[in-house]
Structure formats: structure tokens, C-alpha cells
């Protein structure tokens, strides 16, 4: 298949079609019509083989995850996802790989009504760049910069599973292997939660580099500090069955790839959260992240998130 046949067969044909796309794949630009009175939110993320995923990761999981990490950014800001572009660099024209990649990609895209509206295809070392776009009502999207002293800090779901799933090793209890590997390969973007938080949260971020590092971004950008009680971090049964509690806490703080949301809420709005997210601490006036174990004791574990450079 030539380049244009690949684009048509593996990408254009699989995408849902939205009414707000004026012009999709096939011209020099796509044209979209965002709803009136809404703001456009745009994010992009690249996944490079050997850096963001192991070279033997299934193509369908690579497709799913490339979009999931982008939708997670939209979720963190309270956006409704709508469109994406895909810039794909491939070492060779491997139709089996393309078919599996596109199956994983569109499984997630179609679930959230995201239309593929354009992209690029080049030859080279495997790398996938997706740009995702969505919208939110004016002035209602969430920022990293608006946390206030006194806010309660929450996280969704459980932390540390993906970092353990990546290890895919003997340490994982057999019954939990599939769950932990799925948490690494197929993170679920918290789109519904993000939209719910528009009216509730002061600040929000998605956890991609570990809770300590990503909560740190909220603290820096909001000019506040935080106290976090590490024994309150939500750890899955799968994690606790596989590693010690201490290691579990370290994975939750520093392991990457959770793609859960961390958000801060004024205490008088906490009752509006209609699902039991876990409160892990509070925002304070004291700069920095104060980690505590069992309320008062200082926690002395490490706290370095993943850094590329």
C-alpha cells in the first residue's frame, strides 16, 4: 500500500465522523467548528519507542496509550474531547502493525467520540505524536495554578499500579498480572471526572510523572505548599499483594504513568464529589511538599519523578 492508501485504509476509514468537522482528512488543513461560547483546549504528546514504551509492546496497546495520555491532559482541564491529529513515524510499512495500532487507537477514540482529522506519515524510528483538541465552557476549565490554602487534596482511583505493571516481573502476584499490565498499557482517561470537577475543584493535574512531581507542579504554580499523609494514598489490592506497603507508597509517589487526576477542593465543596475519591492531604501556606506518615511523623522516602533531561 502507498502512503495515501495507508491513511485511507487504516486511519480515515476507522474514524467516527462528527458534525462539527467541516473538512477532515485529505486537504492541506482540517477545518473544525467549535461550539459558540466554548473555549478550545489543545494538547500534544509524543511516545517514542524505548523511552515511553518497550519495543515489544503490542501495537494495539501503543495505539490506545498514545491517545489515552493526550485525553488524560484534556480530562485534567475539564475538557470534552472532540478531535485529534496523528503524526506517525514508522521504520517500515508493516500492515499487520498498522492494523493493530489502528484498532487500539480507535477503540479509545470512538469511545469518546474523537474524530481523526489529519496528520502526517514519515519513515524513521518508531514515534507517535498525537494532538488532541476539545472544548469547555468559557472560564470553566481547570488550571494547575488556582489551589488555595485549606483546600483538600484528592486523587482518583489507585496509584502506583502502572509503574509496577511496567516491571512485568516475577514480583507480581499471578492473579493480578493482567490488571497491573493493563494499568500500564491502557490507562483510562478520567474524562467524566474532569467535567464534573469544573464546578468543584480549584486546581487539577493528571499524574503522569508520579504524584510527588505532579502535585509539585500545582504547588509551584499556585504558590502554596501541601501536607500529604502517605499512609492515606490509595493502593490497589493488586499492588499490595505484590510488593510491601513501603514499596507501594514509593511507587504511588514516584512511579510514572498513572494517568489519574490529582485535584484540590475547598472543604465546603467536598460534599459535591459524588464518588468516593481519596483525600490524601491539604494545601497549606508553607512552601514545599510535607510528607507525613501516620499523621505526625515525617516520611523520609525519596520523591523524584521521571525526568527526561
Residue ranges binding Mg ion (CB under 5 A): 120
Stretch that binds ligand ADP, among 23-31, 149-157, 181-189, 219-227 (CB under 6 A): 23-31
* Among 95, 120, 192, 199, contact with ligand ADP (rule: CB under 6 A): 120
* 47 near ligand ADP, rule: CB under 6 A: no
Compute the least distance from the CB of residue 33 to Mg ion, in Å.
Answer: 23
User: Are 127 and 89 in contact, with CB atoms under 8 Å apart?
Assistant: yes
Q: What is the spatial distance between Cα 301 and Cα 246, in angstroms, rounded to a whole number?
A: 9
Single out the residue of 120, 122, 88, 83 nearest to residue 102, CA to CA. 88
* 37 near ligand ADP, rule: CB under 6 A: no
Nearer to Mg ion, 26 or 91 (CB): 26
Residue 86 binds which entry of Mg ion, ligand ADP, none, with Cβ cut-offs from 5 to 8 Å by kind? ligand ADP
Which helix (DSSP H) or strand (DSSP E) does residue 41 occupy? strand 38-48
Q: What is the spatial distance between Cα 264 and Cα 149, in angstroms, rounded to a whole number?
A: 10
By CB under 6 A, the residues from 230 to 249 that bind ligand ADP are none
Nearer to ligand ADP, 104 or 210 (CB): 104
Stretch that binds ligand ADP, among 57-65, 118-126, 173-181, 237-245 (CB under 6 A): 118-126
Burial bucket for residue 82 (CB in 10 Å: 0-12, 13-18, 19+): buried
* 86 near ligand ADP, rule: CB under 6 A: yes
Burial bucket for residue 276 (CB in 10 Å: 0-12, 13-18, 19+): exposed
* Among 21, 25, 59, 62, contact with ligand ADP (rule: CB under 6 A): 25
* Among 1, 13, 22, 26, contact with ligand ADP (rule: CB under 6 A): 26
Number of residues that bind ligand ADP (CB under 6 A): 13
User: Are 87 and 45 in contact, with CB atoms under 8 Å apart?
Assistant: no
Residue 11 binds which entry of ligand ADP, Mg ion, none, with Cβ cut-offs from 5 to 8 Å by kind? ligand ADP
- Give the CA angle between residues 176, 210, 133 to the nearest 5°: 100
Owner of C-alpha cell 490509595: 234
Distance spanning both ends of the chain, measured CA to CA: 38
Nearer to ligand ADP, 13 or 304 (CB): 13
Compute the least distance from the CB of residue 123 to ligand ADP, in Å.
Answer: 12
> HSE-up of 179 (CA within 13 Å, CB side)?
15
* 118 near ligand ADP, rule: CB under 6 A: yes
Nearer to ligand ADP, 131 or 157 (CB): 131
Q: Cell for 50?
A: 524505548
Owner of C-alpha cell 505526625: 296
Compute the least distance from the CB of residue 74 to ligand ADP, in Å.
Answer: 19
Q: What is the spatial distance between Cα 212 and Cα 303, in angstroms, rounded to a whole number?
A: 6
Residues lying near ligand ADP in the complex (CB under 6 A): 7, 11, 25-28, 86, 88, 116, 118-121
Amino acid at each position: 500500500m502507498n502512503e495515501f492508501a495507508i491513511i485511507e485504509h487504516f486511519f480515515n476509514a476507522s474514524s467516527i465522523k462528527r458534525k462539527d468537522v467541516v473538512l477532515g482528512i485529505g486537504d492541506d488543513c482540517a477545518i473544525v467548528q467549535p461550539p459558540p461560547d466554548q473555549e478550545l483546549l489543545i494538547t500534544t504528546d509524543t511516545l517514542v519507542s524505548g523511552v515511553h514504551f518497550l519495543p515489544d509492546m503490542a501495537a494495539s496497546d501503543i495505539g490506545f496509550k498514545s491517545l489515552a495520555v493526550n485525553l488524560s491532559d484534556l480530562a485534567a482541564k475539564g475538557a470534552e474531547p472532540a478531535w485529534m491529529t496523528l503524526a506517525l513515524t514508522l521504520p517500515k510499512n508493516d500492515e499487520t502493525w498498522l492494523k493493530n495500532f489502528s484498532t487500539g487507537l480507535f477503540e479509545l477514540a470512538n469511545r469518546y467520540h474523537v474524530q481523526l482529522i489529519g496528520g502526517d506519515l514519515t519513515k524513521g524510528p518508531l514515534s507517535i505524536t498525537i494532538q488532541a483538541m476539545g472544548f469547555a465552557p468559557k472560564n470553566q476549565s481547570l488550571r494547575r495554578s488556582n489551589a488555595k490554602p485549606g483546600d483538600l487534596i484528592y486523587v482518583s482511583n489507585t496509584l502506583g499500579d502502572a509503574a509496577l505493571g511496567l516491571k512485568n516481573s516475577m514480583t507480581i502476584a499471578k492473579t493480578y498480572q493482567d490488571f497491573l499490565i493493563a494499568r500500564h498499557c491502557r490507562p483510562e482517561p478520567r474524562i467524566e471526572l474532569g467535567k464534573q470537577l469544573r464546578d468543584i475543584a480549584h486546581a487539577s493535574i493528571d499524574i503522569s510523572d508520579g504524584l510527588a512531581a505532579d502535585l509539585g507542579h500545582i504547588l509551584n504554580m499556585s504558590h502554596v505548599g501541601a501536607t500529604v499523609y502517605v499512609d492515606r494514598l490509595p493502593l490497589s489490592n493488586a499492588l499490595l499483594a505484590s510488593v510491601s506497603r513501603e514499596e507501594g507508597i514509593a511507587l504511588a509517589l514516584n512511579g510514572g504513568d498513572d494517568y489519574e487526576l490529582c485535584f484540590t477542593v475547598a472543604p465546603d465543596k467536598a460534599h459535591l464529589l459524588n464518588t468516593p475519591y481519596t483525600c490524601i492531604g491539604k494545601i497549606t501556606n508553607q512552601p514545599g511538599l510535607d510528607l507525613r506518615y501516620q499523621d505526625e511523623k515525617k516520611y523520609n522516602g525519596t520523591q523524584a519523578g521521571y525526568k527526561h533531561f
